[in-house]
Structure 1
Amino acid sequence: MKRRLLIMFLLGCLLPFAVQAQHDTFRFAQITDIHFSPNNPNPTEDLLRSVAQINATNSIDFVLVTGDITEEGDRATMLKVKETLDLLKAKYYVILGNHETKWSDSGCTAFGEIFGGERFEFEHKGILFLGFNSGPLMRMAYGHVVPQDIRWMMEEMDKFGKDKPVILVTHYPLLDGDVDNWYEVTDAVRPYNIRLFIGGHYHRNRDLRYDGIPGILMRSNLRDKDGKPGYGIYDITKDSILVYTQRIGEPKKQWAAFSLAQPYYDRNGKAEKYPDFSVNTEYPNVKEQWIVQTGAGIYCSPAIEKDKVFVGDDMGYLTCYALKNGKKLWNFQSGKRIVGTPAAADGIVVFGSADRNIYGLNSKDGKLLWTVKAKDPVLGAVTIENGIAYIGAGDSTFRAIDIHTGKVIWAYTGVKGYIETKPLVTADKVIFGAWDNTLYALNKADGKELWKWTGGLTRMHFSPAAVWPVAAEGKVFITDPQRAITAINIENGETVWRTFQSMVRETIGLSEDGTRVFSKTMNDSIVCYATQGDQPRELWASNVGFGYEHAPSMQVEKGGVMFGSTKEGLIFALEAQTGKVLWKHKIGNSLISTVVALNGRQVLFTATSGEVGLLRVKN
């Protein structure tokens, strides 16, 4: 017995050394926030200099590239980045940043096609590295880690072994205000032996803690105030991770270090903070009639036809649910993610997919009726009127399609950017914006261009491309990221008025009677303007108290109630005539897309975090 106890004691003493011995010493580099741009040669030069110095450095086993590799997320620029990164002698692993996910002309599919995927997994000398996307995808919001990526991380770490060391790689820091579901991620990975998160985004060195888990943010590769590009170097020793900044032509400087054995957090604990759902107790008459956790990210709004709800998701599924209770009726899988909101009419549901196709399905059973092929991913939302579906795609083409036959009635190819918006269809026009600073008006009958509006916008990022235009009183109303509301003459495309008074961004909504437009400001409020007249006239402004806000979720009026939503899971209802707050309800902590109001007391919603549901206000 004594001998047995002695052996157990010695094993307990030696175990930490045995664990340490599982990983050998090695060195790797990190490049982040490269921001290649076709209009600026400096980032290209900065990256070339960093690649050359990394190639001249001894013992670099591999390189992590942690997002924002481009300025505008386009395929052509990503290909140029890859050409430059391919000059590295060491193998490199790359993930997306928000500049590849928010302004992607391919719905982020080009990134995966060019670099082999949107996440990576590899083991190196006893340490597991997992890299994943932290969004936001196509919608202006906080970052978000989708449910399927959280499941993937846990599965990979289970296979690797819960006690073996893991380094997680992302672009955003896992903090409140950066990633909306940071707590879900930290709670999911906490039971494992997470040694470090590595990221970028802030363009400066930061030593952080994500609910106790160490997190490093590295400086941008772009030249600093001294004109020096730079990157990170990590030395993995037997018991430590040593973190350095490496400026071009200078010795590396250590600025952080972490133990590979010391515990930094309670592996049985929980996040230090969770979102506040107390608003739901203030309005107990608002109930979730039903809610479905789909397990996949959702970036589009729901569409309805009679007793059915249609939702597209990040995994390429178009799913049909029963409107009454949320029961799943059928699904159809396209080749890649669905970003644009579908539409349904006459027993046919139409949607576009990033797999470069537009689909028409039988809404009763999901059977494929027809397919229209595009040259690039189809990211636009659909509007159907009188049996015609109107939809824009990433191939700079806007199409009108007969929903019964799939025949393309006309195609307008004069667009200079990609299209994601839901088009406005009027008596004789189709109006939509694109990521080229332009709002287009086409003849509904033949697709001929009637006018284009740019409003003096000169930056792609200011395009009226995410807003869903509305029309009344002979005017089209839009908002844009330059933070203006604009009224445009619907006949000739001339600006009637444009105001920066309310600091709005990319949301607009029309009252049921057409006399008012609504918009969401970037801080707390909904504003209401008159549609009549040739000058901006604010009718009311209501402080809803949702805080800083920039999500492109439109306002909708039904039954005298105006509904809206936010990037942090809040749905709210106002009295449409006065702006009086009627109720608020928090679903989760991620973006709620434009809701669909059934009447003044029921509203359908989808959330980036994968929820589909129906809210009901009880008497």
Structure 2
Amino acid sequence: MTRIIQLTDTHIVPPPKKVSEVLDTYSLFEQAIEKIKQDLPKLGQIDGIVVTGDISDHGDVASYEGFKQVIERLAIPYHVIPGNHDLRSSMHQCFGEMIDVNQSEEINWVAHFHDIDLVGLDTVIPGSGGGRLSPSTLQFLASSLDKSSDRPALIAMHHPPFESGIQFMDAIGLEGVNELHEILTNTQRDVRIICGHLHNSIVCSVGGKTVMSSPATASSFVTDHRQDAPVGFTQNTGGYMLHEWNNGFRSTYLSLAESGQLFPF
């Protein structure tokens, strides 16, 4: 069995700064890590953590160093991929020992666990809120999947390869989904795709594979499919995901809110 925690969209800014003059994302991340520490005894052995982008709000080195100080309180190996708020150059500087495996600017990597491969994909278009699976990233994915026919693969990216119905987020969606669909359709491996970006939990399918977005630690986006839906975030408590392989995938949403009283049946 392999168990991997997914965190996303921490949007760290160094204290005392706040995102949009409202969100103290550093403190929110500290609170999230403390909640996860409380949850760990109930979850079983955790093999790793993957953080699916927008680690920083501005891509500055100070925010990544702050992120590292907090997440390392869990003492669990972790892996990172960039989101549209991140800067590759700063990430290479701060996480170079874990991400600079293919000697390219794009941050694509594979981490091998006992019975599963975790594949991290870079969907960043520098200077843009939208994302793209570049030809080199698509080739990296196809090559990585071709190296085995029987090991399951958990594919992590920032931008979702589906329309969410949240209009202002779909406007900064992902290019290259048709090519991704073809790769997923052709692979014989058992695959699950996970992503962030939406500050919301949504489950879809692409290329016959299940794909899901994780809630964020920094803020939440409202499910509002109206064309004139207001643009913005709420301070509703977010969450994280636990992805497990045990002769099949199981993905569980966990809230960062404190648990209420437990009543016996």
TM-score by length of 2: 0.75
- Given the alignment of the two structures, is residue 109 of structure 1 paired with residue 109 of structure 2, yes or no? no
Give runs of aligned pairs for residues 151-550 of structure 1, distance below 5 A.
Answer: 151-159=139-147, 161-175=148-162, 178-192=173-187, 193-223=189-219, 227-250=236-259
Amino acid at match of 1:46: L
Note if contact 1:174-1:210 (Cα within 8 Å) is conserved in structure 2.
Answer: yes
Note if contact 1:49-1:248 (Cα within 8 Å) is conserved in structure 2.
Answer: no
- Given the alignment of the two structures, is residue 29 of structure 1 paired with residue 5 of structure 2, yes or no? yes
Residues in 2 aligned to 1:204 and 1:35: alpha-carbon distance in whole angstroms: 15
Cα deviation 1:146-181 (Å, max 9, x = unaligned) = 22222222222222x123211110001113651111
Amino acid at match of 1:169: A
Q: Which residue is 2:117 aligned to?
A: 128
Note if contact 1:93-1:120 (Cα within 8 Å) is conserved in structure 2.
Answer: no
Residues in 2 aligned to 1:226 and 1:74: alpha-carbon distance in whole angstroms: 24
Q: Which moved more, 1:44-53 or 1:229-238?
A: 229-238
Q: Indicate how the Cα distance of structure 1 residues 26 and 246 shifts in structure 2: closer, same or farther if over 3 A, else same.
A: farther
Residues in 1 aligned to 2:72 and 2:108: alpha-carbon distance in whole angstroms: 18
* Secondary structure of residue in 2 paired with 1:129: strand
Q: Which has the higher contact order (CA 8 A, sep 6+)?
A: 2
* Secondary structure of residue in 2 paired with 1:86: helix
Residues in 2 aligned to 1:128 and 1:85: alpha-carbon distance in whole angstroms: 22
Q: Which of 74, 77, 86 matches 2:72?
A: 86
Q: Which of 35, 43, 64 matches 1:53?
A: 35
Amino acid at match of 1:216: M
Amino acid at match of 2:132: H
Q: Indicate how the Cα distance of structure 1 residues 206 and 229 shifts in structure 2: closer, same or farther if over 3 A, else same.
A: closer
Percent pairwise identity: 21
Q: Indicate how the Cα distance of structure 1 residues 194 and 89 shifts in structure 2: closer, same or farther if over 3 A, else same.
A: same
Residues in 1 aligned to 2:27 and 2:216: alpha-carbon distance in whole angstroms: 14
Note if contact 2:8-2:216 (Cα within 8 Å) is conserved in structure 1.
Answer: yes
The structure carrying a bigger helix percent of its residues is 2
Residues in 2 aligned to 1:27 and 1:205: alpha-carbon distance in whole angstroms: 19
Note if contact 2:54-2:84 (Cα within 8 Å) is conserved in structure 1.
Answer: yes
Give me the CA root mean square deviation: 2.2
Cα deviation 1:58-108 (Å, max 9, x = unaligned) = 3222111110111112222222212222222111111100111xxx4xxx2
Residues in 1 aligned to 2:78 and 2:180: alpha-carbon distance in whole angstroms: 25
C-alpha deviation, 1:194, in angstroms: 4.2
Amino acid at match of 2:138: I
Q: Indicate how the Cα distance of structure 1 residues 53 and 179 shifts in structure 2: closer, same or farther if over 3 A, else same.
A: same
- Given the alignment of the two structures, is residue 119 of structure 1 paired with residue 108 of structure 2, yes or no? yes
Q: Indicate how the Cα distance of structure 1 residues 110 and 223 shifts in structure 2: closer, same or farther if over 3 A, else same.
A: closer
C-alpha deviation, 1:206, in angstroms: 0.3
Residues in 2 aligned to 1:35 and 1:227: alpha-carbon distance in whole angstroms: 15
C-alpha deviation, 1:49, in angstroms: 1.8
List, as ranges, runs of 4+ consecutive aligned residues in structure 1 with deviation greater than 6 Å: none
Note if contact 1:70-1:77 (Cα within 8 Å) is conserved in structure 2.
Answer: yes
Cα deviation 1:401-460 (Å, max 9, x = unaligned) = xxxxxxxxxxxxxxxxxxxxxxxxxxxxxxxxxxxxxxxxxxxxxxxxxxxxxxxxxxxx
Q: Indicate how the Cα distance of structure 1 residues 76 and 208 shifts in structure 2: closer, same or farther if over 3 A, else same.
A: same
Residues in 2 aligned to 1:163 and 1:60: alpha-carbon distance in whole angstroms: 23
C-alpha deviation, 1:226, in angstroms: 7.0
C-alpha deviation, 1:229, in angstroms: 4.3
* Secondary structure of residue in 2 paired with 1:87: helix
Residues in 2 aligned to 1:227 and 1:213: alpha-carbon distance in whole angstroms: 30
Cα deviation 1:573-606 (Å, max 9, x = unaligned) = xxxxxxxxxxxxxxxxxxxxxxxxxxxxxxxxxx
Q: Indicate how the Cα distance of structure 1 residues 73 and 113 shifts in structure 2: closer, same or farther if over 3 A, else same.
A: same
Amino acid at match of 1:213: K
* Secondary structure of residue in 1 paired with 2:138: helix
Amino acid at match of 1:187: E
Q: Indicate how the Cα distance of structure 1 residues 240 and 181 shifts in structure 2: closer, same or farther if over 3 A, else same.
A: closer
Residues in 2 aligned to 1:151 and 1:231: alpha-carbon distance in whole angstroms: 29
C-alpha deviation, 1:143, in angstroms: 0.9
Tell which structure's C-alpha radius of gyration is larger: 1
Note if contact 1:33-1:200 (Cα within 8 Å) is conserved in structure 2.
Answer: yes
Note if contact 2:124-2:132 (Cα within 8 Å) is conserved in structure 1.
Answer: yes
Residues in 2 aligned to 1:53 and 1:247: alpha-carbon distance in whole angstroms: 6
C-alpha deviation, 1:114, in angstroms: 1.2
Q: Which residue is 1:97 aligned to?
A: 83
Residues in 1 aligned to 2:190 and 2:89: alpha-carbon distance in whole angstroms: 29
C-alpha deviation, 1:223, in angstroms: 5.0
Note if contact 1:166-1:195 (Cα within 8 Å) is conserved in structure 2.
Answer: yes
Residues in 1 aligned to 2:219 and 2:124: alpha-carbon distance in whole angstroms: 25
Give runs of aligned pairs for residues 145-156 of structure 1, distance below 5 A.
Answer: 145-156=133-144
The structure carrying a bigger strand percent of its residues is 1
Q: Which residue is 1:65 aligned to?
A: 51
Q: Which residue is 2:224 aligned to?
A: none
C-alpha deviation, 1:119, in angstroms: 2.6
Residues in 2 aligned to 1:216 and 1:141: alpha-carbon distance in whole angstroms: 20
C-alpha deviation, 1:241, in angstroms: 1.3
* Secondary structure of residue in 2 paired with 1:197: strand
Q: Indicate how the Cα distance of structure 1 residues 89 and 198 shifts in structure 2: closer, same or farther if over 3 A, else same.
A: same
Structure 1 stretches of 5 or more lacking a match? 1-24, 252-619
Q: Indicate how the Cα distance of structure 1 residues 194 and 114 shifts in structure 2: closer, same or farther if over 3 A, else same.
A: farther
Q: Which residue is 1:594 aligned to?
A: none
Residues in 2 aligned to 1:227 and 1:168: alpha-carbon distance in whole angstroms: 27
Cα deviation 1:117-143 (Å, max 9, x = unaligned) = 2233112221111001111223x3631
Note if contact 2:59-2:90 (Cα within 8 Å) is conserved in structure 1.
Answer: no
Q: Indicate how the Cα distance of structure 1 residues 157 and 53 shifts in structure 2: closer, same or farther if over 3 A, else same.
A: same
Residues in 2 aligned to 1:29 and 1:86: alpha-carbon distance in whole angstroms: 14
Q: How many residues align?
A: 219
